[in-house]
């Protein structure tokens, strides 16, 4: 049986390849996965999403009724730039409930079970539905993902990997043919098995997830997924898409323990920032008192 592998992926930097540059971008390769924004479309986002978020923000500081504010925002009596300005300020201040009023639904296809296991760990403000390995019987064998480190490895090692995957899928097919139920035959599926999901998330949760998963410390496949997701959101709203960034970007520093060596230079590690702060505040304390104080 031939295993239907996807295109090779690119891992993030390993300890042995670390340098002071941004770890290699998984986006340079087509991994055979897709993320499609199925709702909303550009028209809905442009017409209603920004006004809706603006209404949530403005209601806190206004005597006007929320429906009144919404109407003025939608019909343009409140300039779109003014709306975006308030929204940016509120998001930067961390008042996150205001961006829980809008949601995005993605069709995610061809990702590995390794990825989906990480993805569904997010609990707040996000809903998932995933292709069942119980109710779907994979007649031609399940499709799998091939990491680039294995694709580029010693050919003998790669062959052993492929044999292992093929063996597992063949056993699955034999068990299904012997009448073993799919819910049990699936126990032999490897983590490399591809899967499909629908994910609906509010904007707050999407920004949070993107902060974690666009970080170069994230695993290459899920990092790639969030690059695709960001691309989709940008296509309907460059303004809202601009908030999807590695968490160090809005923070201004990196808080990942694994980046204490500063190998990812997107932002300085917080230890380095605190060291500079400690030095400066120490110097400030050591300054001689101005004459005439005593
Ligand atoms: C680089 C990386 C490596 C990881 N490695 C591992 C690993 O080795 N092992 C492992 O098990 N997991 C690992 N994870 C998963 C991680 O621990 C989280 O489970 C996952 O990222 C979900 O994020 P979250 O906890 O922010 O949850 P979300 O559901 O996205 O929640 C969003 C936010 O809501 C709040 N929140 C949600 N639920 C609660 C609650 N019950 N109580 C209080 N506040 C809540 C929190 O502020 C939380 O940050 C890793 C994640 C990353 C990004």
163 shares its domain with 78: yes
Q: Is residue 103 part of a domain?
A: yes
Neighbours of 95 (CB within 10 A): 14
Neighbours of 232 (CB within 10 A): 19
27 shares its domain with 173: yes
Q: What is the rounded distance in angstroms from the CA atom of residue 88 to the CA atom of residue 54?
A: 10
159 shares its domain with 223: yes
269 shares its domain with 142: no
211 shares its domain with 263: no
Residue 214 Cβ contacting ligand 1 at under 6 Å: no
Contact 115, 108 (CB under 8 A): no
Residue 115 Cβ contacting ligand 1 at under 6 Å: no
Residue 128, helix vs strand vs coil: strand
Residues labelled catalytic? 213
Q: Which of 117, 124, 126 to mutate to test the pocket of ligand 1 (most atoms within 8 A of CB)?
A: 124
Residue 121 Cβ contacting ligand 1 at under 6 Å: yes
Element (H, E) at 39: strand 34-39
Nearest to 138 by CA among 115, 163, 170: 170
Length of the chain as a residue count: 294
Q: Which of 205, 208, 254 to mutate to test the pocket of ligand 1 (most atoms within 8 A of CB)?
A: 208
Which of the four pLDDT bands, split at 50, 70 and 90, describes residue 132?
Answer: very high
144 shares its domain with 202: yes
Predicted local distance difference test score (pLDDT) of residue 291: 65
Q: Is residue 184 part of a domain?
A: yes
Q: Is residue 173 part of a domain?
A: yes
73 shares its domain with 202: yes
Q: What is the rounded distance in angstroms from the CA atom of residue 120 to the CA atom of residue 250?
A: 24
Element (H, E) at 283: helix 270-286
Predicted local distance difference test score (pLDDT) of residue 126: 98
Q: Is residue 9 part of a domain?
A: no
Is residue 6 pLDDT above 60, yes or no? no
Q: Which of 97, 212, 220 to mutate to test the pocket of ligand 1 (most atoms within 8 A of CB)?
A: 212
Predicted local distance difference test score (pLDDT) of residue 4: 42
Nearest to 143 by CA among 221, 219, 196: 196
106 shares its domain with 179: yes
Q: Is residue 197 part of a domain?
A: yes
Q: What is the rounded distance in angstroms from the CA atom of residue 205 to the CA atom of residue 119?
A: 12
Average pLDDT over residues 241-252: 97
110 shares its domain with 239: yes
Predicted local distance difference test score (pLDDT) of residue 14: 41
Element (H, E) at 196: strand 194-202
Considering Cα of 8, then 10, then 16, then 17, what sign does the dihedral take? positive
Predicted local distance difference test score (pLDDT) of residue 284: 72
Q: What is the rounded distance in angstroms from the CA atom of residue 14 to the CA atom of residue 108?
A: 27
| Residue 129 belongs to domain spanning | 22-246
Q: Is residue 165 part of a domain?
A: yes
Predicted local distance difference test score (pLDDT) of residue 286: 72
Beta bridge partners of 35: 108
- Tokens representing 260 are 């204490």
Report the percent of the chain where pLDDT is more than 90: 80
Q: Is pLDDT larger for residue 162 or for residue 142?
A: 162
How many CA atoms, within 13 angstroms, populate the side-chain half-sphere of residue 12? 19
Q: Is pLDDT larger for residue 273 or for residue 292?
A: 273
Q: What is the pTM of this model?
A: 0.89
Is residue 150 pLDDT above 90, yes or no? yes
Predicted local distance difference test score (pLDDT) of residue 256: 96
What digits encode the pLDDT tens for the residues 67-116? 999 999 999 999 999 999 999 999 999 899 999 999 999 999 999 999 99
Residue 94 Cβ contacting ligand 1 at under 6 Å: no
201 shares its domain with 272: no
Nearest to 240 by CA among 124, 87, 93: 87
128 shares its domain with 265: no
Predicted local distance difference test score (pLDDT) of residue 7: 38
Q: Is residue 59 part of a domain?
A: yes
Query: Residue 196: which CATH number?
Result: 3.30.1360.170
174 shares its domain with 277: no
Contact 107, 38 (CB under 8 A): yes
What digits encode the pLDDT tens for the residues 9-62? 333 334 444 455 666 666 556 788 999 999 999 999 999 999 999 999 999 989
Report which DSSP code applies to 214: S
Average pLDDT taken over every residue of the chain: 89
Q: Is residue 28 part of a domain?
A: yes
What digits encode the pLDDT tens for the residues 253-269? 999 999 999 999 999 99
103-112 and 126-130 strand pairing: unpaired
- Tokens representing 266 are 């997107």
Nearest 5°: phi and psi at 129? -135, 135
Give the CA distances from residue 259 to residues 11, 273, 274, in Å, rounded to whole numbers and listed in that order: 16, 13, 15
Atom of ligand 1 nearest to the CA of 118: 15
Residue 206 Cβ contacting ligand 1 at under 6 Å: no
Average pLDDT over residues 220-244: 97
Atom of ligand 1 nearest to the CA of 122: 29
Task: Output b/e per residue, 112-124; b: 16+ Cβ within 10 A.
Answer: bbbbbebbeebee
Specify the number of domains making up the chain. Answer: 2
């Amino acid at each position: 049986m031939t295993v239907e592998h996807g295109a090779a992926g690119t891992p993030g930097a390993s300890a042995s390849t670390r340098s002071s540059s941004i770890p290699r971008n998984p986006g340079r390769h087509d991994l055979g996965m897709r993320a499609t924004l199925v709702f909303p479309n550009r028209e809905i986002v442009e017409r209603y999403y920004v006004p809706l978020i603006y209404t949530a923000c403005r209601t806190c500081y206004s005597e006007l009724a929320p429906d009144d504010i919404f109407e003025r925002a939608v019909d343009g009596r409140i300039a779109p730039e003014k709306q975006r300005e308030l929204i940016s300020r509120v998001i930067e201040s961390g008042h996150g409930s205001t961006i829980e009023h809008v949601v995005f639904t993605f069709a995610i296809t061809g990702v590995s079970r390794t990825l989906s296991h990480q993805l569904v760990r997010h609990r707040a403000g996000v809903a998932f539905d995933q292709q069942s390995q119980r109710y779907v019987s994979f007649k031609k064998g399940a499709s799998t993902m091939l990491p680039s480190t294995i694709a580029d490895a010693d050919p003998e090692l790669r062959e052993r990997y492929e044999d292992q995957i093929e063996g597992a899928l063949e056993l699955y097919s034999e068990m299904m043919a012997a009448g073993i139920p799919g819910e049990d035959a699936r126990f032999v599926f490897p983590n490399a098995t591809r899967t499909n999901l629908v994910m609906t998330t509010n904007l707050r949760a999407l920004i949070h997830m993107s902060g974690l998963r666009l970080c170069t410390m994230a695993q290459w496949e899920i990092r790639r997924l969030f690059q695709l997701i960001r691309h989709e959101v940008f296509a309907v709203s460059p303004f809202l898409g601009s908030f999807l960034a590695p968490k160090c970007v809005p923070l201004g520093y990196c808080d990942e323990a694994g980046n204490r060596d500063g190998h990812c230079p997107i932002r300085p590690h917080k230890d380095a920032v605190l060291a500079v702060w400690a030095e400066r505040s120490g110097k400030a304390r050591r300054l001689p008192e101005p004459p005439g104080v005593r």
